[in-house]
């Protein structure tokens, strides 16, 4: 049993590192900027989570690595969702939650994180998430 737990944790850490590495590669950041890739992932995940209805949020999260799922649900208040955010509000929230100045600003941060997440989620689930978004936000999603 302990070996299964260790294997599950190690697998989740490996998958989480792949996601963070994908974000870093998109920006050309060295691994030493892991705090930036983590902040980008966390910020966009939380905004996406808070924009989704509860059931869709849970279904989406089931496809995330265990560690990323923990980040996703950290501080979640399901009784307060979905929060209505249009594209401009979403980008403003990203700017407030991601304190780094990066090329392309908040829109590029969102695009990089969503592109990365898309590669780790099934097409069917991604389509369901996209279908719950207002049109202006859905257009930002790959």
* CATH code: domain of residue 105: 1.10.490.110
Residue 17 covered by a domain: no
Residue 8 has what pLDDT? 81
Q: Which residues contact 112 (CB under 8 A, 6 or more apart)?
A: 23, 26, 27, 40
Residue 19 covered by a domain: no
Q: Which residues contact 116 (CB under 8 A, 6 or more apart)?
A: 19, 22, 23, 26, 41
Residue 137 has what pLDDT? 92
Residue 84 covered by a domain: yes
Residue 95 covered by a domain: yes
Residue 1 covered by a domain: no
Residue 13 covered by a domain: no
Residue 32 covered by a domain: yes
Residue 4 covered by a domain: no
Instruction: Give the chain's residues under pLDDT 50.
Output: none
Residue 5 has what pLDDT? 62
How many domains in the chain?
Answer: 1
For residue 111, what are the domain limits? 25-139
Q: Is the pTM above the cut of 0.85?
A: yes
Residue 26 has what pLDDT? 95
Residue 2 has what pLDDT? 59
């Amino acid at each position: 049993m302990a070996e299964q737990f260790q294997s599950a944790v190690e697998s989740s850490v490996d998958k989480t590192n792949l996601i963070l590495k994908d974000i870093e590669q998109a920006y050309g950041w060295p691994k030493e900027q892991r705090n930036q890739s983590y902040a980008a992932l966390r910020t966009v995940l939380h905004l996406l989570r808070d924009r989704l209805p509860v059931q869709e949020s849970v279904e989406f999260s089931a496809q995330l690595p265990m560690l990323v799922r923990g980040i996703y649900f950290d501080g979640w208040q399901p009784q307060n969702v979905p929060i209505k955010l249009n594209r401009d509000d979403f980008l403003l929230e990203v700017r407030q939650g991601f304190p780094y100045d990066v090329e392309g600003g908040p829109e590029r941060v969102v695009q990089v994180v969503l592109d990365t997440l898309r590669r780790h989620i099934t097409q069917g689930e991604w389509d369901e998430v996209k279908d719950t978004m207002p049109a202006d936000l859905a257009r930002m999603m790959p």
